[in-house]
Chains A and B, each alone.
Chain A
Amino acid sequence: MQRIFYGGWSIMFVCAIIGFMLAVQFRQVRDSQATVPNQRLEEVSGRLIQVEEERDELAKRLEILQQETNSWMNQELISELKIQACVTPLEGEGIIVKMDDSTRAAKSGENPNLYLIHDDDLLRVINELRAAGAEAISINGQRLIATSEIRCAGPTLSVNNVRSSPPYEIHAVGDKKSLENAITMRGGVAETLKVWGIQLEVTASDNVYIPPYKGTSKRVYSKVVDEK
């Protein structure tokens, strides 16, 4: 075969450049596809585990500290105050209200927000329940106390700074007849919410369980003074 190649060296040089660039690019594409999301995932899940461990440890410490204080104070007064402060679980007759977003699709041009449960919907239900004499209320396992907030947090709802998503289950202890009537009365909350298709279901029960408040309480600005 005849000699067909001239200038092999310079071609070889440029070929080396091509190979170099191909390899660099290939490595980079492979790295960016394979490792970045995984790395992020590992990082985030690792932090989650760490925070959960921390939380469990703190909950244990809280329990120990509470037991310690129990032992050296007037038991009766303590238990009454604890009920007032909502840190004891309660059970009694009452109602369970289940609420969920509307299954209806929003018509075009309509605000889809109207078909979702918002904080003010829940607040109205809670307000009715309190007006009807509910003694203790919890939303999705979060006890409502004097400082509890109910507010929208994106698509979820935050109660006691704990987020939960629909369906919402409101437990209320009190006279079950009047509680039920307060929600379902003509022109009441249930009827208004039904206009938007929001699902609301009331069940009366003889033993409704209300969990205790599990958060902490902080007092920074308020001071105890004599009555004026």
Chain B
Amino acid sequence: MAKPLLGLIFGIIAGSFFPLDIMGAYTKLFSVVLLVALDSVFGGLRASVNKNFSDMVFISGFLTNALFAAFLVFVGDRLGIDLYYVALLVFGFRIFKNLAGLRRHFLKNF
């Protein structure tokens, strides 16, 4: 249980001191990738409570989702269509779905 929290804290500390500035043009990309990461974590947690977690599936899912979402943002920018809304909606939806799965599991077990 402690490892995800540990990772989060470590990331926040690293981010606070890392001299990185995101330019305005990349904020869309940033928001989409953030959502992808959140979705992956919730999906991973759900899989691990259901005991069908696989490292390969988890990491490859995270990477391909992030890459494809980034691709959508890039293409959307070129076409002048806000395609990244697609990614935002889908991943937002999936986060809540995964959260619901986790909740059900814990409700069943306690």
- Residue numbers of A with Cβ under 8 A of B are 2, 4-28
Contacts and interface: CB of A to CB of B under 8 A. Distances in A.
Nearest to A7: B53
Given A12-B6, A13-B7, A18-B37, A7 B48 contact: yes
A2 B41 CA distance: 21
A20 B14 contact: yes
B6 A11 contact: no
B4 to A, nearest CB: 4
Nearest to A15: B7
A19 B3 contact: no
Given A4-B48, A5-B48, A18-B11, A24 B18 contact: yes
Interface of B: 1, 3-16, 18, 20-22, 30, 33-34, 37-38, 40-41, 44-45, 47-49, 51, 53-55, 58-59, 62, 109
A12 B10 CA distance: 10
B37 A11 contact: no
Contacts of B44: 7, 10-11, 14
A19 B48 contact: no
Given A5-B3, A7-B58, A28-B22, A18 B8 contact: yes
A204 B98 CA distance: 85
Contacts of A13: 7
A138 B65 CA distance: 74
A27 B15 contact: yes
A1 to B, nearest CB: 9
B7 A24 contact: no
B16 A23 contact: yes
Nearest to B51: A6
Given A5-B1, A7-B55, A24-B20, A18 B38 contact: yes
B12 A20 contact: yes
A218 to B, nearest CB: 46
A108 to B, nearest CB: 37
A20 B4 contact: no
Contacts of A23: 11-16
Contact of B41 (A15, A22, A26): A15
